[in-house]
């Protein structure tokens, strides 16, 4: 069977739907029938195989595929950050290393910030993830100082 024959049958079905007052199905059918225009002499099987291939080939590709996170880098920095505790000088050294390490991209910064702070998983930018790390350190240092004052003020 040729595409022309199939198209003629489908156009007849579309006109029946239109005459019956089924406007939306008729319109949808017309759009489908229009796919066959310009392919009248081709065998239906060949045309449908090509159409199927085009439809399968047009799978939307994500515009941005994040790079895989380097787990070793993440683990290394999270361990160092946790080991620094509330030591300001140690933290500043780690922060400088983080900022200068070319292996630390946005994905790594997000993962490090997430594991260190226990907060959200992603930030809008690498610098915001780095700021979250610094804010968490400041928060933890403040809590530690506050607890020392409470301990001093509390009699045994």
Note the pLDDT of residue 73. 94
Note the pLDDT of residue 64. 61
Encode burial over 29-46: b for 16+ CB neighbours within 10 A, e otherwise. Answer: beeebeebeebeeeebee
On whether both 49 and 76 belong to a single domain, the answer is no
User: Does residue 75 form part of some domain?
Assistant: yes
User: Does residue 13 form part of some domain?
Assistant: yes
**Phi and psi for 43 in degrees, rounded to 5?**
-65, 140
On whether both 91 and 143 belong to a single domain, the answer is yes
On whether both 80 and 146 belong to a single domain, the answer is yes
> In which domain, by residue range, is 45 found?
3-57
Q: Specify the DSSP class assigned to residue 120.
A: -
Residue-level pLDDT, tens digit, the chain, 156 residues: 888 888 888 888 888 888 888 888 888 878 878 878 888 888 888 888 887 777 777 555 556 666 788 999 999 999 999 999 999 999 999 999 999 999 999 999 999 999 999 988 999 999 999 999 999 999 999 998 888 888 888 776
On whether both 44 and 22 belong to a single domain, the answer is yes
Query: In this structure, is the dihedral angle defined by the CA atoms of residues 65, 122, 129 and 109, taken in order, positive or negative?
Result: negative
On whether both 47 and 78 belong to a single domain, the answer is no
On whether both 100 and 126 belong to a single domain, the answer is yes
Number of domains in the chain: 2
On whether both 83 and 127 belong to a single domain, the answer is yes
Note the pLDDT of residue 21. 86
43 beta partners: 2
User: Does residue 63 form part of some domain?
Assistant: no
Instruction: From 57, 82, 98, give the residue that closes a domain.
Output: 57
pTM tops 0.95 = no
User: Does residue 125 form part of some domain?
Assistant: yes
On whether both 77 and 8 belong to a single domain, the answer is no
On whether both 19 and 43 belong to a single domain, the answer is yes
Residues near 113 by Cβ (< 8 Å), separated by ≥ 6? 119, 123, 129, 130, 132, 133, 136
On whether both 142 and 116 belong to a single domain, the answer is yes
């Amino acid at each position: 069977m040729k595409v022309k024959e199939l198209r003629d049958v489908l156009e007849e079905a579309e006109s029946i739907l239109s005459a019956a007052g089924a406007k939306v199905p008729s319109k949808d059918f017309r759009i489908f029938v229009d796919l066959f225009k310009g392919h009248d002499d081709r065998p239906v099987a060949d045309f449908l195989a090509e159409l199927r291939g085009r439809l399968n080939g047009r799978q939307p590709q994500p515009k941005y595929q994040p790079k895989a996170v380097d787990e070793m880098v993440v683990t290394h920095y999270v361990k160092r950050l946790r080991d620094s505790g509330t030591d300001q000088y140690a933290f500043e050294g780690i922060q400088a290393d983080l900022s200068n390490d070319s292996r630390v991209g946005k994905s790594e910064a997000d993962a490090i910030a997430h594991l260190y702070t226990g907060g959200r998983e992603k930030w809008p930018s690498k610098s915001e993830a780095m700021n979250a790390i610094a804010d968490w350190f400041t928060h933890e240092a403040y809590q530690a100082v506050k607890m020392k004052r409470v301990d001093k003020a509390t009699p045994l």
